[in-house]
Amino acid sequence: MKLTFYGAAREVTGSCTLVETAKSKILVDCGMFQGSHVASSKNFSDFVFDPTALDAVVLTHAHMDHCGRLPKLIKDGFKKTIYATEATKLIAGIVMEDAVHIMEEDFERSGRPQLYDANDVQRTLIKFKDTPYHTPLRINDVTIRFFDAGHIFGSSFIEIKADSGKTVIFSGDVGNKDVPIIRETETIEHADAIVTESTYGNRIHEGKVERFKQLQEAILDCVEKKGVLLIPAFAIERTQHLLYEINQLVETKKIPCIPVYLDSPMAIKVTKVMEKLSAYYDKEALEHISHGDNFLSFPCLHLTHTRDESKTINTSPSPKIIIAGSGMMNGGRILHHLIRYVGDRSTTILIIGYQASGTLGRRLYSGEKNIRIFGKRISVRARVKAIGAFSAHADQKKLLSWIGNIKPRPKLVLCNHGEEEASVALGTRITEKFGILSKAPKFGESFEI
């Protein structure tokens, strides 16, 4: 079995790995490169492999950096089937349609070309086939199974077993520990090799109690200052996780019920999908539902679907909480709120997800005091705070535990989907702790299993 990395190699975005066996060519994910303009330009490059020669695509989950180039793959000649869980299919459709909307706005604003259009997305969705967890899928000389990765709704790590007897696990993105709504990551049964994400391969997150406490403190500080708590949130999982915890704080009277604006049409759509697919919920979330508690809704929550509804937030009194996309602040309605509030000392920007290199989010996280949005230069006076435990990604401790539980040990671990420092750090710890050969692949690098 041969693995070749065509994305997320010593970087976080653009996940795309080609698996070749004696009789099959299977692509694991086909994600968009995100971050700087250089990263974005890579999306327009031709695929190094031949899309027409692929026998299948298996999709780990619906985040843009894993599914965002599927419509381009279709445009370039892919004819076969895309396999994913039901939730992944539904959410991926929302994600890709939203991407088209952003591309259209970028074209109108700056003339930037579109990677694909709405018709390409519809042609892509037709090729999806729902694939339940644990059900074997046979493609030529390989057997494939999906397992719950505990990352977002419907997320999977994927087992690919060749007739040669070799088994490789592709982690996709591994979920964080003690996250509400989402089930915990399943254990790996067996693997000769593992391709694991390493987004936080050199970091340890705060615990559940500390996460809850820091969110409460940020909201109470907003109330005291009569200011704005601005939360750039990823529409899938992170937003719903946040709503769950704010609901808990309101219900237990640990915070006053100040206005909370969910200013993300995409997040609102994903939330509705999650409400319909309760089969994916963890035990605690199911118990809430059985008692009639809709933890994704509470009295002070306002959903702003349209642009006009979004504009009404500007005139609403403070204190208030605004949750808007995009999570890395490289597009979406969050930019308009930043223009209005980032220069105010009573504003707090609460970062609750990974900020890729080259994004506005990374620059704010790194402490830049002057930023540019839509060509306008703005001084940053707002406080910037981050809570790592809200991340949907496992930290180093969980990744080591997940891999370390496999008996017998795999012979090789390949660390991708992480910036170079994080990927190398995780690989080094895996080798030190378990004696397993570990490497951080480079773009175009191949490995024989």
CATH classification of the domain holding 25: 3.60.15.10
Structure tokens at 421: 């420092």
Among residues 344, 360, 390, the one where a domain terminates is 390
Phi, psi of 40 (to 5 degrees): -60, -35
Q: In what order do the strands lie in the sheet with 412-416?
A: 137-139, 142-148, 156-162, 167-170, 193-197, 412-416, 437-439
Instruction: Give the residue-averaged pLDDT of 13-17.
Output: 97
- Per the document, the length of the chain is 449
Instruction: Give the residue-averaged pLDDT of 374-395.
Output: 91
> Do both 194 and 291 map to the same domain?
no
- CA 195 – CA 111 distance, rounded (Å): 38
Among residues 390, 405, 435, the one where a domain terminates is 390
Contacts of 103 (CB under 8 A, 6+ apart): 112, 114, 115, 116, 117
- Specify the higher pLDDT residue, 287 or 8: 8
CB count within 10 Å of CB 388 equals 20
Q: How confident is the model at residue 363 (pLDDT cuts 50, 70, 90)?
A: very high
> Do both 383 and 400 map to the same domain?
no
The mean predicted confidence, pLDDT, of the chain is 93
**What was the pLDDT predicted at 37?**
65
Q: Provide the CATH number for the domain around residue 223.
A: 3.40.50.10890
Q: In what order do the strands lie in the sheet with 2-5?
A: 128-130, 81-84, 56-58, 25-28, 17-20, 2-5, 446-448
Portion of the chain with pLDDT greater than 90, in percent = 79
- Specify the higher pLDDT residue, 197 or 236: 197
193-197, 224-228, 233-237: which has the minimum mean pLDDT? 233-237
Q: Would you say 121 and 101 are in contact if contact means Cβ atoms under 8 Å apart?
A: no
> Do both 116 and 167 map to the same domain?
yes
In order of 49, 342, 369, 374, the CA distances from 379 in angstroms are: 45, 8, 6, 14
- CA 414 – CA 169 distance, rounded (Å): 10
Largest CA distance in the chain: 65
Given CA atoms 348, 353, 354, 360 in this order, what sign does their dihedral have?
Answer: negative
Q: Is 338 exposed, middle or buried (0-12, 13-18, 19+ CB in 10 A)?
A: buried
SS3 call for 168: strand
Nearest CA among 158, 136, 160 for reference residue 149: 158
Structure tokens at 143: 């057997």
- CA 274 – CA 297 distance, rounded (Å): 12
H-run or E-run covering 424: helix 420-434
DSSP for 147-183, please give it: EE-SSSTT-EEEEEEETTS-EEEE-SSPPPSS-SSBP
SS3 call for 313: helix
DSSP state of 136: -
**What was the pLDDT predicted at 38?**
56
> Do both 52 and 82 map to the same domain?
yes
> Do both 291 and 371 map to the same domain?
yes
Q: Dump pLDDT digits (tens) for 294-316.
A: 777 888 999 999 999 999 999 99
> Do both 99 and 22 map to the same domain?
yes
In order of 30, 139, 158, the CA distances from 192 in angstroms are: 24, 20, 13
Crossing angle of the two packed helices 334-341 and 307-315, in degrees rounded to 10:
20
**What was the pLDDT predicted at 321?**
97
> Do both 308 and 190 map to the same domain?
no
> In whole angstroms, how large is the CA radius of gyration of the chain?
21
What is the residue whose two structure tokens read 């570990």? 438
Structure tokens at 274: 């999650």
> Do both 384 and 410 map to the same domain?
no
> Do both 113 and 245 map to the same domain?
no
Q: How confident is the model at residue 389 (pLDDT cuts 50, 70, 90)?
A: confident
> Do both 184 and 266 map to the same domain?
no
223-227, 278-282, 307-311, 437-441: which has the minimum mean pLDDT? 278-282
Query: Which residue range is the domain that position 125 belongs to?
Result: 2-203+392-448
Phi, psi of 412 (to 5 degrees): -150, 135
Q: Would you say 220 and 319 are in contact if contact means Cβ atoms under 8 Å apart?
A: no
**What was the pLDDT predicted at 49?**
97
Instruction: Give the residue-averaged pLDDT of 18-41.
Output: 89
pTM, 2 dp: 0.92
Structure tokens at 79: 């004819």
> Do both 145 and 231 map to the same domain?
no
Total domain count, the chain: 2
Among residues 351, 373, 390, the one where a domain terminates is 390
**What was the pLDDT predicted at 234?**
86
Q: Would you say 47 and 73 are in contact if contact means Cβ atoms under 8 Å apart?
A: yes
> Do both 345 and 442 map to the same domain?
no
Q: Dump pLDDT digits (tens) for 231-268.
A: 998 888 889 999 999 999 999 999 999 999 999 999 99
Nearest CA among 407, 403, 353 for reference residue 197: 403
Strand extents, DSSP E, 154-209: 156-162, 167-170, 193-197
Q: Is 364 exposed, middle or buried (0-12, 13-18, 19+ CB in 10 A)?
A: buried
Q: Would you say 409 and 439 are in contact if contact means Cβ atoms under 8 Å apart?
A: no
Question: What's the angle, vertex CA 163, arms to CA 158 and CA 164, rounded to 5?
Answer: 105
Does pLDDT of 227 surpass 70?
A: yes
Question: What's the angle, vertex CA 344, arms to CA 341 and CA 349, rounded to 5?
Answer: 60
Phi, psi of 145 (to 5 degrees): -135, 145
* Calculated CA dihedral for residues 435, 412, 404, 418, nearest 10 degrees: 110
